[in-house]
Amino acid sequence: MAIEIGDIDHVGIAVEDLDAAIELYRAVLGVEPTHRERVEDQGVEEVLFSVGSSFIQLLGAIGPDSPVGRSLASRGPGIHHVAYRVRDVAEALEHLRAEGVRLIDEAPREGSRNTLIAFVHPRSMEGVLVELVQERPTGGR
Ligand code: CO
């Protein structure tokens, strides 16, 4: 059972105003959004910018009672989570469970871009909310 971390898939950044943040990133970093998606079950609208083989993910809250909405209310905008690419999320979760790591998601679930994801509790990860991302072949869904 191995976790097999690949690249960093993305760094998620909570923002108050998604459109203003997109303009800021465009103007300051010269990056163009490559993907925008509303992920209802996570209560977020996300925008991805390609940076090398990774993404920067800007996260706007759909409502104040969503996880990102609550994070914005308590901590303000900033880094929300770090996502690692893994070969197999289910296998990675089994490894973490065996290591006694506290999980938010006990099983993989649907992420954006047709990925499978799972979140790991920040209390087990030095205060960092960690996400595991498994890419799946596109076309389908
Ligand atoms: Co994410």
Nearest to 5 by CA among 140, 95, 127: 95
- pLDDT tens digits along 12-45: 999 999 999 999 999 999 999 999 999 888 899 9
- Residue 122 has φ and ψ, to the nearest 5°, of -60, -25
* pLDDT tens column, 89-100: 999 999 999 999
Give start and end residues of each alpha helix (H) in 8-115. 18-29, 67-75, 89-98
Distance (angstroms) between ligand 1 centre and the Cα of 83 equals 6
For the chain, the 3-state helix, strand and coil shares in percent, each to the nearest 5, are: 25, 40, 35
pLDDT tens digits, one per residue of 44-84: 999 999 999 999 999 999 999 999 999 999 999 999 999 99
The pLDDT of residue 131 is 97
Task: Give residue 10 CA to ligand 1 midpoint distance, Å.
Answer: 7
State residue 87's pLDDT score: 94
Q: Ligand 1 centroid vs 80 CA: distance in angstroms?
A: 9
pLDDT grade, residue 105 (50/70/90)?
A: very high
**Count of beta carbons in the 10 Å neighbourhood of residue 99:** 10
pTM equals 0.91
Is pLDDT at 141 greater than 50 in this prediction?
A: no
Confidence of residue 139 (pLDDT cuts 50, 70, 90): low
